[in-house]
Structure 1
Amino acid sequence: MKELPFEIKFIYVTAIVLIIVFAVFIVFVVLMYNKKQILYLKEKQLNIESQNQLLQKELEKQKSIEKERERISHDMHDDLGAGISALKLQAEFLKQKAQDDDLQSDIDELLKTSEEMNLSMREMLWSLNSENDTLGSFTDYAIRYTENFLKKTKIKPWFESMDIISETPVSTELRRNMFLCLKEAVNNAYKHSQADTLRLSFSQKENRFLMEISDDGIGIDKEKPAGNGLRNMNRRMEELGGGCETLSSGKGTHIIFKTTI
């Protein structure tokens, strides 16, 4: 058998050596990659565990806050509620005995003040109760408040809800700011609009929520500067990352509150 030339042998040997070196290099790269992957997965697992611990601490903190809110709510109901009721009963008892007209007038003012304090306390209790942190709770309470506020006035309220998912969770801050905007708008309509009707409507589209309040009154005098009420409503909606739009003409006023839930 004829022996291969030295050059061809050298090429074969060089090729084999290169293949072995390349194979060793590939094995080394794979091992390093696997090692890095293992380190990455361990680091990721540690991050997940750390995040879970932080999440657990945050959940415990939220539960603690909710528990404290409920305790304050119960204390207010038991202590302040009982005190206001006792004050009202004593004032009514004194009114029955009072003969002087001026004294009876003062007692009537006291009764009015106690009733206002009772309403304010109920609003605070509603705001504090975490069970009310849903869209349905807010709309129900807003309708109930508007009905009670306007029942002794000449303004007739109308209510409308479109596509509202009652179970949608909302924050306490959103409920509070939206409710204070509602109070301001309804009070302004009562004091300034000379309206016969007021329409309160709610609508929801995915995570967008709209509350609209419109009346058929004389509208807002555009020549006068905006009052504190309008400025406060705009500020509260900005705090929620939403907006407040006021449309007014001689045929009435339409206020639109928009926010993300």
Structure 2
Amino acid sequence: MNIVDIIIPFTVALFIISVGVVLLYQNFQKNLIALELEKAELEARQRDELLQNSIMVQEEERKRIAQDLHDDLGAVISIIKMNLMLMRQKQNENVVADDPAGNVQNLINLSETAMASVRNISHQLMPPQLEAFGLLKSIESVVDQINQLGEIEVHFVFKPDWPFVKWPVALSIYRIIMELFNNTLKHALARNVFLEFDCLNGNLIIKFSDDGTGFPDGLDAGGGLGLVSIDARARAMNGRFDYGNGAEKGIAVILTIPFN
């Protein structure tokens, strides 16, 4: 056997191997590109879903504010208007009012009620204590107010090294806690609420639980606007919202938020 007989098969085999390697590499690149495209599409869908949830939350908050304006402030202003129109009618008819001072005082009282409604709505939009005193003090204030009612006992604990949380994140956490309190007070029939602020491995960990009736069976994050709102706020902070029923009874919620 001469050297040509050895080189030719070897060259053919080497060529086949080279072609195979090229084809494998091309297939690998194709799969890699497909995975990248799939990942990009998934991220785009998640962004779209987050945007839709955020818009839904904003629209619901606008709806709630409009309802508050209509029910509270609108009603008071209507009464003030009726009183003023009645006073003008009596003045035009030269009728002496039975109690002018009392009528004026009534209008003053109604005006104070309207101002209180405006303050209440503005505080819901932008809690003044949150900006002035920070998240922990604001939550402590809310806890004290709830406990003073005597209907439910809130047990609030937090780590001494809980970090200072910047305004946008603090506001979102505050809104989430308020939504959880609201749900428990309205629906849970609970006697105790347990709220814990922790910090672990660069994450803010917020645990909320109660001893009430718990979530209805089969409820998912789309099952209630409150849960949608909380989930949207958590995801907007690159966080995670986990919830379910406790081991014995009541709800158990864990909010995990990356802290930089």
TM-score, normalised on structure 2? 0.51
The Cα shift of 1:146 comes to 2.7
Equivalent residue, structure 1, for 2:120: 116
Total equivalences in the alignment: 158
* Distance (whole Å) between structure 2 residues aligned to residue 236 and residue 197 of structure 1: 25
Equivalent residue, structure 2, for 1:243: 240
Contact 2:213 2:250 in 1 (8 A): yes
The Cα shift of 1:151 comes to 2.7
Secondary structure of 1:140 counterpart:
helix
Q: Which has the larger radius of gyration?
A: 1
| Alignment of 1:165 onto 2:161 | yes
1:35-78 Cα shifts (integer Å, max 9, x gaps): xxxxxxxxxxxxxxxxxxxxxxxxxxxxxxxxxxxxxxxxxxxx
2:207 is matched by which residue type in structure 1? E
1:171 is matched by which residue type in structure 2? K
The Cα shift of 1:115 comes to 5.7
Match for 1:197 among 192, 196, 205?
A: 192
More contact order relative to length (CA 8 Å, sep ≥ 6): 2
Secondary structure of 2:127 counterpart:
helix
Contact 1:157 1:197 in 2 (8 A): yes
* Distance (whole Å) between structure 2 residues aligned to residue 199 and residue 169 of structure 1: 22
Contact 2:213 2:249 in 1 (8 A): yes
The Cα shift of 1:213 comes to 1.1
The Cα shift of 1:97 comes to 4.5
1:3-46 Cα shifts (integer Å, max 9, x gaps): xxxxxxxxxxxxxxxxxxxxxxxxxxxxxxxxxxxxxxxxxxxx
Match for 2:250 among 232, 245, 252?
A: 252
* Distance (whole Å) between structure 2 residues aligned to residue 145 and residue 217 of structure 1: 20
Equivalent residue, structure 1, for 2:66: none
1:172-210 Cα shifts (integer Å, max 9, x gaps): 211011111001000000000000011111111242111
Contact 1:146 1:186 in 2 (8 A): no
* Distance (whole Å) between structure 2 residues aligned to residue 115 and residue 244 of structure 1: 31
| Alpha-carbon spacing, 1:112–1:248, altered in 2? closer, same or farther (3 Å) | farther
| Alignment of 1:141 onto 2:138 | yes
Equivalent residue, structure 1, for 2:26: none
Match for 2:224 among 227, 251, 257?
A: 227
Contact 2:214 2:245 in 1 (8 A): yes
| Alpha-carbon spacing, 1:223–1:171, altered in 2? closer, same or farther (3 Å) | same
Identity %: 16
Equivalent residue, structure 2, for 1:151: 148
Q: Which range moves more in the overlay, 143-152 or 179-188?
A: 143-152
| Alignment of 1:185 onto 2:180 | yes
| Alpha-carbon spacing, 1:159–1:126, altered in 2? closer, same or farther (3 Å) | closer
Secondary structure of 1:183 counterpart:
helix
Root-mean-square deviation (Å): 3.6
| Alignment of 1:175 onto 2:188 | no
Contact 2:143 2:156 in 1 (8 A): no
2:174 is matched by which residue type in structure 1? F
TM-score, normalised on structure 1? 0.50
| Alpha-carbon spacing, 1:215–1:125, altered in 2? closer, same or farther (3 Å) | closer
Equivalent residue, structure 2, for 1:126: 130
| Alpha-carbon spacing, 1:109–1:217, altered in 2? closer, same or farther (3 Å) | farther
1:204 is matched by which residue type in structure 2? C
| Alpha-carbon spacing, 1:223–1:121, altered in 2? closer, same or farther (3 Å) | closer
* Distance (whole Å) between structure 1 residues aligned to residue 243 and residue 143 of structure 2: 19
The Cα shift of 1:152 comes to 2.0
Contact 2:146 2:154 in 1 (8 A): no
Unaligned runs of 5+ in 1: 1-86
